[in-house]
Amino acid sequence: MHQFVTALQSKLLKFQIDMFRGIKLLLPILLTIIIHSGYAQTPLPSPDLKSAGLQSPEQFLGYKLGTRFTRHADILRYLDYLLAQAPDRMKLQNYGTTYEGRPLMLATISAPANLNQLEEIRTNNLKRIGLLTGQPTASKPVIAWLSYNVHGNEAVSSEAVLQVLYDLLDVNNAKTQQWLQKTVVLIDPCVNPDGRERYVQWYGQVAAAGSNANPIAREHQEPWPGGRPNHYLFDLNRDLAWQTQKETQHRIAVYNQWMPHLHADFHEMSPEASYYFSPAAKPFHEDITPWQREFQNIIGDNNRKYFDANRWLYFTRETYDLFYPSYGDTWPTFNGAIAMTYEQGGSGRAGLTYTRTSGDTLTLTQRIAHHHTASLATLEAVADRSEKVVQEFQKYYQRNQTNPPGTYQTYVLKAKNEEAKIRSLTTYLDRQQIQYGFAANTNTLMAFNYANGKTEGAKIEKNDLVISLRQPKATLIKVLFEPASKLEDSLTYDITSWAIPYAYGLQAYAIKGKVAQTTAKPATITQTNTVPSTDKPYAYVARWNSLQDLQFLSELLNHNINIRYSEKAFASEEQQYAPGTLIITRAGNEQTGDKFDALIKTAAEKAGVQITPTRTGFVSSGADFGSSSVRYLKKPKVAILAGSGISSTGFGEIWHFFEQQIHFPVTVLDAQTLGRVSWSDLDVLILPGGYYGDILPELILNQVKDWVRNGGKLIALESATGFLAGKKDFALVSKKNTDSVDIKKNPYKLLKPYGESERSAISEQVQGSIYRVTLDNTHPLAYGYGTTYFALIQNAINYQFMTNGWNVGVLKKDTYASGFVGAQVRKKLQDTLILGHQQLGQGDIVYMADNPLFRAFWHNGKLLFGNAVFMVGQ
Ligand SMILES: [Zn+2]
């Protein structure tokens, strides 16, 4: 797409370049004096005055910025144009593509002298912080990275950046040219083009001629799912640390090649709000350094200067905190950068014009002016302190390597029988440039045990994964691995707990001392396919305990291989196997002919799982392979509900799971068309969280129940379980609300100070906290797990144990592990059902009250969800 546009554009460019070459020579000096000396007072000079050769966005696009939204293809055209005009001051890199095939671009802009030795500047930086070996040379420009439009419908960002690009490349702009002498600026003009185009295309279709500022007008009512997220409806500004989305993976790969000293992330918030810049709100994560905190103020002061001069409204120190590590400000912060978020009042509701409740009209032009000014103020602040910023960055990395933060020096993750999970974890660590090794010998050490929260003697075995904190990325490791993150203030608006060992479902220890390690990967980790050569084995056996096992199953089902699984534990040829183990017998797969073995081996290799060939169907304990308790696993026809009323992120996580993680076909149904579904075509229907009142009225709910009775399987997640709870024929029931009893006992409970309303509300909240769920792993829903599972709980789940179903996962007493939970919720979460299974007629209903697929980073929940889809009710 991009190439095509470029070719077309080059013809146009020749003409435009020629046209302006004449005046280019005459005007620069005069214009510099007239226009750019006035920057401090008027941060956004009218673009049409700037015509000394380089075309402004207005001249190039043919319309004034702010009078319409610029299409992504036109943003790309302008980038190409700028590159053609200023090849000595700009580089342009296509660093990846989105799920919908749009190019992701990074512009690098600096003074010609810097651009000439760009590679040296880049590698010098990495050498100075220990991520590259060798001696750095003297050159030390500061590296600043600006990101725009990570939320697609916060569409002002990619407009403002066009003016920023122009200002940086305009040789007549004395200020920017001075900054660029000591600054390398990296600009990502559109982090989320799929989301942005979803918004821009829609707005173009529905906006009134000349726009309608009335908030009730259609152009201010963005339809589901809105342009904020990416293709799979993930919030890319929650994905920096987990890197589950293509856009983030590409972006982090290039970020890590640079390791910028500053990262600024441009956003929008409610159109009723004014403008937000640093300093950020509390809580700050405790590992944010004094210098990083100080720079929050420096950057705030520099913005304030311009916002005050223009009499623009703004606020600081509220709402936008620095705690959850996966934002565009926090993740760079834990990578040593100074980083900040900018928020303009606007977003997908604001359109081109919007009448606020105060009566004044917010325009896109104003929004552009604010983000443009903040961008330049940021660059000015960092350029003015370039030496100090580079020096502090270097100090940060030196401290990480010699005196890392926190109580623990080493994290150890048990590797035995967890090879697939360890492999996926090491891939994740590689992406983050986190170094690791493997335990050199077996030893018993005092350690914090993640499984029970106790410090006790822990057996570290040879080949366990070892991560020492004495390395460049120590702070990031500490933040991602620490068992519990210290919260200085509970008013934060994202999850409060995320420790990687829980997220991966790995047994782990945190140790105060060192652990002897080798860097050589053990064969069990590197070799993904170690199938002994056996001539025509009777069957292949595959263990069932990871996402990779699900990928393997999916691959086999896609090749129509007949698969079975054992309901009981068994022993075969001196190996012990747990319930859920897959058994692929030659018998029953005659249709594959002589390709049987190759198909199985290729699938195992692709998924990275180990399979064991057997010579017999006889087992020394458990049920023989021909037994009826070795169940046939039918390939299900699966559908997910999407559309208005459904949680877009909840749906997106399920969609991404099927298409991108296990590669299994799934049909997405629009919730509004459920009444017209041909039920006999469906085996599994998945209800993501959402508001189901309008989607499942009695008539349609009855159809769903009839379908279940005839053998269908309904899987309800999060708030969908709440909708079904208490309804006729559904076994799930909410616990009685005891609040009124408490108030009868103590009526003073009602006397809450108005000024503390926000604070008293949080006693009713659980903010992404980790709990230990007690599992019945003899039930298919919990196959592959031990007797406990660490869940990330985000709702005050409050269900009775079922009397007419299987209580597969429950929260008992004292099962809290980490994160913030309000006092009221703590009580509710005790003795509640989390995972349940009910049989109804010939069919099944699975209740999953938490979200096992949260942001695709809660890897530990993926097998549970896979069990619900593939194992339960077979
Ligand atoms: Zn945003």
Q: Say how many C-beta atoms besides its own lie within 10 A of residue 734's C-beta.
A: 15
Q: Rounded to the nearest whole angstrom, what is the distance from the C-alpha of residue 792 to the centroid of ligand 1?
A: 24
Q: How far is the CA of 150 from the centre of ligand 1 (A)?
A: 7
Helix axes 290-309, 364-384, angle to 10 degrees: 130
DSSP secondary structure letter of residue 756: G
Q: How far is the CA of 103 from the centre of ligand 1 (A)?
A: 21
Q: How far is the CA of 341 from the centre of ligand 1 (A)?
A: 9
Dist. CA 326 → ligand 1 center (Å): 13
Query: What is the model's pLDDT at position 820?
Result: 81
Sheet architecture: strand order including 183-188: 90-97, 103-109, 183-188, 142-148, 262-269, 338-345, 275-276
Residue 156 alpha carbon to ligand 1 centre in Å: 11
Q: Which residues of the chain have pLDDT under 70?
A: 1-52, 489-493, 526-534, 759-760, 762
Please tell me the predicted confidence (pLDDT) of residue 736: 85
- The Cα–Cα gap between 543 and 609 comes to 9
CA 340–ligand 1 middle distance (angstroms)? 12
Distance CA 407, CA 509 (A): 13
Instruction: Compute, in angstroms, the gap from residue 236 CA to the centroid of ligand 1.
Output: 9
Of the candidates 570, 563, 606, 607, which has an alpha carbon nearest to the alpha carbon of residue 585?
563
Distance 716 CA to ligand 1 centre (A): 29
Can you read off the two tokens belonging to residue 509? 């220890």
Asked if 609 and 552 count as a contact pair (C-beta separation under 8 A), the reply is: yes
| Residue among 579, 588, 619, 453 at smallest CA distance from 867 | 579
pLDDT of residue 769: 87
Distance 354 CA to ligand 1 centre (A): 18
Separation of alpha carbons 394 and 125, rounded Å? 9
pLDDT at 522: 83
Compute the distance from residue 355 Cα to the ligand 1 centre, in Å: 21
HSE (CB half, 13 Å, CA atoms) of 754?
0
Q: Three-state SS string across 448-500, please?
A: EECCCCEEEEEEECCCCEEEECCCCCHHHHHHHHCCCCCCCCCCCCCCCCCCH
User: Do the beta carbons of residue 19 and residue 93 sit within 8 Å?
Assistant: no
* Nearest alpha-carbon partner for 613 in 529, 515, 717: 529
Rounded to the nearest angstrom, the distance between the alpha carbon of 122 and the centre of ligand 1 is 29
Report the distance separating Cα 337 and Cα 10, nearest Å: 38
Q: Are strands 766-775 and 806-811 parallel, antiparallel or unpaired?
A: antiparallel
Q: What is the DSSP letter of 572?
A: E
Specify the residue for token string 């099927």: 658
Model-level pTM? 0.91
Q: What's the CA-to-centroid distance between 273 and ligand 1, angstroms? A: 13
Output the pLDDT for position 741.
72
Q: Judge whether 303 and 377 are in contact, CB under 8 Å.
A: yes
Q: How far is the CA of 342 from the centre of ligand 1 (A)?
A: 9
pLDDT tens readout for residues 28-62: 333 333 333 333 334 444 444 444 589 999 999 99
| CA distances for 835 relative to 322, 418, 727, 790, 805, angstroms | 33, 24, 18, 12, 11
**Which residues are CB-neighbours of 589 under 8 A, at least 6 positions away?**
561, 562, 596
Separation of alpha carbons 786 and 765, rounded Å = 29
Cα of 477 vs centre of ligand 1, distance in Å, is: 26
Name the CA dihedral angle for 299, 56, 111, 121, rounded to a multiple of 10 degrees: 70
Nearest in space to 847 (alpha carbons), one of 717, 739, 709, 753 = 717
Return the pLDDT at 442.
Answer: 95
- Could you give the maximum distance between any two Cα atoms of the chain, in Å? 93
Please give the pLDDT value at position 766.
77
Query: 371 alpha carbon to ligand 1 midpoint, in Å?
Result: 13
C-alpha of residue 299 to centroid of ligand 1, in Å: 19
